[in-house]
Amino acid sequence: MADDSPFTVDADWLQSRLGEPGLTIVDASWYLPAQKRDARAEYEAAHIPGARFFDHDAASDPDAKLPHTLPSPQHFAQYVGTMGISADDTIVVHDGPGFFSAPRAWWMLRVMGVFQVYVLDGGFDRWKAAGRPVTAEPTKIAPNVFHADFDAARVASLSDMRRIVETKESQIADARGAGRFTGTEPEPRAGVRSGHMPGARNLPYSALSQDGELLSKDSLRKAVEDAGIDLSKPVVTSCGSGITAAVVTLALETLGHTDNRLYDGSWTEWGGLADTPVATGKE
């Protein structure tokens, strides 16, 4: 399905390259409480040989009040350096289901200057179900010096979003489910209002993959356009806390759309403030 994406690799491709120098496998699984899955415990019980665990919380800004805030380039470089990652590596990231939290790690690495980074189609759940190699052996890691080359233009701030909502200079693609977008379902975080940024379009991240695989380019284009998003114009992606917005970013980039940013504070920031405008309903 996603054979035509320049940002994904399939399980056959990865399995045939296990153990190759310069190939780094990163388990970037992270789950919401409702999913009742413990990413680190699952990794320690079974992972792809050579994989190392990417902790989204440890890779976040330790001083931020919001969850999963992009850290400084220095903090990120220190964290991934201890994982033995070099910016010159070919990096394959994955999560359990396929396209949930892995694209966030993909996006972070790209924003910090890594370009040979891909997401594993099908995720680890399908890798394991197919009887492909797994191990519980701890991965031997030699720390590395990671040189971050941060591209700040790919990140949207709260002040950017206030301006965008007012001027409509960019489209906003909201990756949350329809119920949260329209305001008919409560937000999972306390103190966060329901609804969406005025003018935003709803493009649920879950509509961009099937059975753990990214949709084909034609299907991605249809999903994006059906959501009312014009691929010839700038887009900012957003979600609950900045994780699944990256699934939409990956879909846009797959379609050759490069004029996009990710709103890192996402709805937890916007919906948690008292003075930000909030819309409900489908529009």
Query: Which residue in this structure is represented by tokens 């939409």?
Result: 248
pLDDT band at 3 (very low <50, low <70, confident <90, very high): low
| Percent of the chain whose pLDDT exceeds 90 | 95
Distance CA 260, CA 241 (A): 17
Instruction: Give residue 39's identity as a one-letter amino acid code.
Output: A
Q: Beginning with the edge strand found earlier in the chain, give each strand of the sheet holding 90-94 in spatial order.
A: 8-9, 117-120, 90-94, 23-27, 52-53
Dihedral (Cα; 163, 262, 249, 245), 10-degree rounding: -100
Q: What pLDDT was estimated at residue 152? A: 97
Instruction: Give residue 277's identity as a one-letter amino acid code.
Output: P
Q: What pLDDT was estimated at residue 208? A: 98
Q: Is the pLDDT score of 260 beyond 60?
A: yes
pLDDT band at 200 (very low <50, low <70, confident <90, very high): very high
Q: Is the pLDDT score of 2 beyond 60?
A: no
Choose the catalytic residue: 11, 26, 172, 239.
239
H-only helix segments in 46-184: 73-82, 102-111, 123-129, 158-167, 178-182
Q: What does the mean pLDDT of the chain come to?
A: 96
Chain segment 38-90, per-residue pLDDT in tens: 999 999 999 999 999 999 999 999 999 999 999 999 999 999 999 999 999 99
Distance CA 73, CA 278 (A): 32
Active site residue 215: no
